[in-house]
């Protein structure tokens, strides 16, 4: 594949002529056998055209050639990429991608031609988001949030390379902000005493059982709300996490757990007792509403049996935390509290990973590395006691 140079002479209205040079690349034949050609130009001199021809030939031979396109980043992301990946992603993930792109990428780079997106432009985007990326105008996004923007763009631009819209992925050379060394400073959690105080404070409220279940199992918000009585075995003190209720554009949808795999969680006696109370409450609600009761078999539901909106659960939790006077944490941080307390209590990491539904014990360790220093100190003392016993005191200078 060599391509060739084509010269065109244009005659102006006043009789003067101008010469323009083009690079013509033969792209083979279409399904009807007709030759397909791509013209590049025009160049003012033959030398410029020859340099471009050499570059194009090199790209064709190396498999990195892409046809010039005026496609903008917005047209690609919104018109092609997001619709193309929707069927492959969980609805919540796809909606998160869409919102992130619309809020943080398109206002800044949407009109940029796709083929002009560079590592330099992406780095400038990340810097701007860190400085003043919040939609309310009150400062910048966190490093974690900016890295999430980077991950989405990296995926989208990698797909553009596969579709031969880009010769290479500019996001691969971009430099998003680094995470902190531990990678978990953003996690917040309560101590056992604080968690016990919160559960005692909320005792008697309608959603007390939901807080207990989330704290004692590490279940996610949507998993708690999606739990059905058919997945609970109170006699065997265990439940199966098979579905979750999520909010997409504030509409409720039933989905599968985050990893896509169901899991079994064993329950303590106190949580079993709380669930028995919830079952009695659902029966009372059913009797009160009669034919108007919307029975979906949910463990936690509104008075008429219909699902509780996930955002509503979060709002109620925030109010309960404020009322308790305890340090502010998110509803999801009950999950972090469960994991942290379990690690400190000596529960094997593999067991914690299975209860939380993590992809692997390694991920659990990385996520909760903040607990390890104290555990290591305890381990050091335990090993010393096992080796030296009472004689350890005599070894000290």
For the segment 84-97, what is each residue's pLDDT rounded down to a tens digit? Answer: 999 999 888 999 99
Residue 396 falls inside a structural domain: no
Q: Are residues 221 and 358 in the same domain?
A: yes
Q: What share of the chain has pLDDT > 90, as a percent?
A: 63
Residue 52 belongs to a domain: yes
| pLDDT score at 374 | 62
With contact defined as beta carbons under 8 Å apart, do 240 and 262 qualify? yes
Mean pLDDT rounded to a whole number for the chain: 89
Q: Do 80 and 51 belong to one domain?
A: no
Q: Quick check: is 185 in a domain?
A: no
Same domain, 231 and 279: yes
The predicted model gives 10-34 an average pLDDT of: 81
What is the C-alpha separation between 331 and 313, in angstroms, rounded? Answer: 8
> Is residue 179 in some structural domain?
no
Give the CATH number for residue 321.
Answer: 1.10.443.10
Q: Which residues contact 285 (CB under 8 A, 6 or more apart)?
A: 293, 301, 303, 304, 305
Verify that 57 and 78 share a domain, yes or no: no
Instruction: Indicate whether 50 and 96 sit together in one domain.
Output: no
Total structural domains within the chain: 3
| Residue 208 forms part of a structural domain | yes
pLDDT at 184 over 50: no
CATH number at residue 126: 1.10.150.130
pLDDT of residue 377: 66
pTM: 0.71
What is the model's pLDDT at position 391?
56
For 31, the domain range is 4-62
pLDDT at residue 380 greater than cutoff 80: no
Residue 365 maps to a domain? yes
58 within a domain of the structure (yes/no): yes
> Which tokens is 255 given?
């989905």
**Residue 394 domain-assigned (yes or no):** no
Main-chain dihedrals φ then ψ at residue 241, nearest 5 degrees: -95, 105
212 shares its domain with 85: no
Q: Say whether both 278 and 160 belong to one domain.
A: no
């Amino acid at each position: 594949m060599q391509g060739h140079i084509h010269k065109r002479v244009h005659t102006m209205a006043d009789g003067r002529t101008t010469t323009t040079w083009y690079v013509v690349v033969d792209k083979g034949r279409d399904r009807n056998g007709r030759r397909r050609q791509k013209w590049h130009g025009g160049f003012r001199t033959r030398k410029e055209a020859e340099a471009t021809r050499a570059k194009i030939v090199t790209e064709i031979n190396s498999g990195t050639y892409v046809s010039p396109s005026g496609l903008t980043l917005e047209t690609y992301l919104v018109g092609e990429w997001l619709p193309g990946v929707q069927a492959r992603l969980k609805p919540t993930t796809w909606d998160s991608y869409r919102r992130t792109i619309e809020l943080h990428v398109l206002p800044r780079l949407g009109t940029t031609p796709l083929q002009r997106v560079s590592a330099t432009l992406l780095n400038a985007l990340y810097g701007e988001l860190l400085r003043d990326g919040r939609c309310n105008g009150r400062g910048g996004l966190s490093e974690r949030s900016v890295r999430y923007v980077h991950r989405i763009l990296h995926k989208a631009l990698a797909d553009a390379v596969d579709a031969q819209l880009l010769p290479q992925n500019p996001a691969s050379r971009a430099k998003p902000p680094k995470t902190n060394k531990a990678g978990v400073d953003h996690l917040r959690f309560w101590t056992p005493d604080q968690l016990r105080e919160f559960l005692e404070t909320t005792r008697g409220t309608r959603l007390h059982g939901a807080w207990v279940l989330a704290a004692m199992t590490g279940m996610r918000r949507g998993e708690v709300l999606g739990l059905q009585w058919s997945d609970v075995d109170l006699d065997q003190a265990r439940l199966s996490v098979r579905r979750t209720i999520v909010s997409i554009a504030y509409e409720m949808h039933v989905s599968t757990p985050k990893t896509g795999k169901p899991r079994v969680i064993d329950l303590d006696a106190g949580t079993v007792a709380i669930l028995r109370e919830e079952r009695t409450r659902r029966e009372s609600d059913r009797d009160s509403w009669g034919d108007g009761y919307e029975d979906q078999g949910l463990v936690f539901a509104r008075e008429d049996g219909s699902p509780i909106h996930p955002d509503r659960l979060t709002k109620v939790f925030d109010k309960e935390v404020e009322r308790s006077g305890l340090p502010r944490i998110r509803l999801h941080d009950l999950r972090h509290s469960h994991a942290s307390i379990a690690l400190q209590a000596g529960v094997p990491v593999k067991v914690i990973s299975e209860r939380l539904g993590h992809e692997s014990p390694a991920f659990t360790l990385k996520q909760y590395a903040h607990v390890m220093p104290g555990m290591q100190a305890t381990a050091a003392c335990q090993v010393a006691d096992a080796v030296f016993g009472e004689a350890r005191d005599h070894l000290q200078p």
